[in-house]
Chain A
Amino acid sequence: MRHLISPLDFSVEETNELLSLAEEIAADRSRFSHVAEGKKLATCFYEPSTRTRLSFEAAMLNLGGSVLGFSSADSSSAAKGESVADTIRVISCYADICAMRHPKEGAPLVAAMHAGIPVINAGDGGHNHPTQTLTDLLTIKALKGHLDNLTIGLCGDLKFGRTVHSLINATVRYPGVKFVLISPEELRLPGYIRKDVLDANHIEYKEVDVLEEVMPELDILYMTRVQRERFFNEEDYIRLKDSFILDTKKMRYAREDMLVLHPLPRVNEISTEVDKDPRAAYFKQAQYGVYVRMALIIKLLGLEVPTC
């Protein structure tokens, strides 16, 4: 039985296969609307994350399956002190597949070790969030047509942002990928990722702190939130925050086919005036997130796909 716990659990070939299936789904959703009939997805969310939970539920409903679950620790047996291992053993009797979100790192792995059904990590603390990474890959693949030979700009909080770290890990597996790391000094990419991932794979990258300058080079601009609490003082935050906000003025420097991605929710790091720009892909990204979860459920459950 396969699970999805870490973004690198699937090989490049398996990932490509999954993305191709997701693209087929995007092209003709109705063909897939009965493939999971009679199957149940349990969403076990020990902390609320409405967006992720609804994306999983929408995916299962689109496949003709049904959903059950809980959306916070206090509405679950965890509040009574039940271990993750025991909970998943019980859930395995009720459902065919489980998406688990947990504030503690490694909880979905513990679940996978004791489950009788496939477990999908829907986010474990600041650790992994593999379906977000698959969503990002699908968005790029579907809108750009390829995942290799891309210059990817990563902007904002590169120090704590796990989506950025996972995306780097996943995209370095494709040839010809370069990175432009755009962040304030205080929020630069951690040294171990530069060393163990970028340097170890001989990946070309540069670190800058002005977004405008590098805009013309980018195929993808991946925006993340710069949080106030990451700064030591208010002045630094105010001084720096505008440099990392994307607005129409900065978009003028970008190529016509550049894509703007963002894991959402956004706060103010992308000005709403950018939403109308055809290069803004972050709402499409949310749609691709449902397609990639549909593909993932089909793969992990080994469901038959009707041919067209």
Chain B
Amino acid sequence: MSDALIQATGLTKRFDDFVAVDGIDFEVRQGETFGFLGPNGAGKTSTMRMISAVSPITEGSLSVLGLNPATEGPRLRARLGIVPQENNLDEELTVRDNLYMYGRYFDIPKSELNDRIKELVEFVQLTEKIDAKVDALSGGMKRRVTIARGLINNPDLYILDEPTTGLDPQARHVLWDRLYRLKQRGITLIITTHYMDEAEQLCDRLVVMDKGKIVAEGSPQHLIEIYTPRDVVELRFPIGVLETLNGKIEELFDRTEILADRALIYTDDAERMMATVHEHGMEPETVLARRSTLEDVFLRLTGRTLVD
């Protein structure tokens, strides 16, 4: 087989009758950062949990680091770093004790573990908090503890389920910076997110998931190129006005998305497009011209926004 670290074919997860992951195929290669982008309920976590050997697959085949998660779970998990969607830290314990306990589950010798804990805490910039109870940390700090915890065993594959959800912009940028450093060290990363900027910043390749299926796959650049024109103009109208336009916008332009409060018009020539809008007597409240993003790709593919 190829040099793929993960190979999934027809991967399916069902909870009773409900299909959470619906026969997806993907491959993750050594050293890349691979993303799963999708809205709530798309099946991202279910997929991560199958890869992490904490949830059995229902159908299809899955190989992770050349191992079968169903039969070689402990051996596989020994080589994975996992940052689950929920931190699941022991809030009563200190940062150090949380990392220590976790490290012992991997049977890391005590002296080595103590050094590793210091390094990791420094890496996530929590040195002053090492003996603070997790309880007393902010959300962003807790997330950083979880990030450090996931690295305790020097994983070959580092899996992060929504690493920055719920963090403020500054904390997100700190985390992105840390993840970027890991990536430069050559660690293979898997990230799920419903933030398109996160996916664009971090991922070499990604799949867009919706309702348990993969609807597109490629590098962020590639996806934007093939699914959307270069620019978007967002027209925001006073409440109620959009309805009275009666499909006029869709008639005038061939690539549009009409949302509740605004119309998106995709174009390669924003100026000419604006002229057309004015010629037809439409008076938007605000006009915003910007580059297309993965958000637009998602909108195009599913007719819905990522974060609602």
B is a partner of A? no
- Residues of A that sit less than 8 Å from B by CB: none
- Residues of B that sit less than 8 Å from A by CB: none
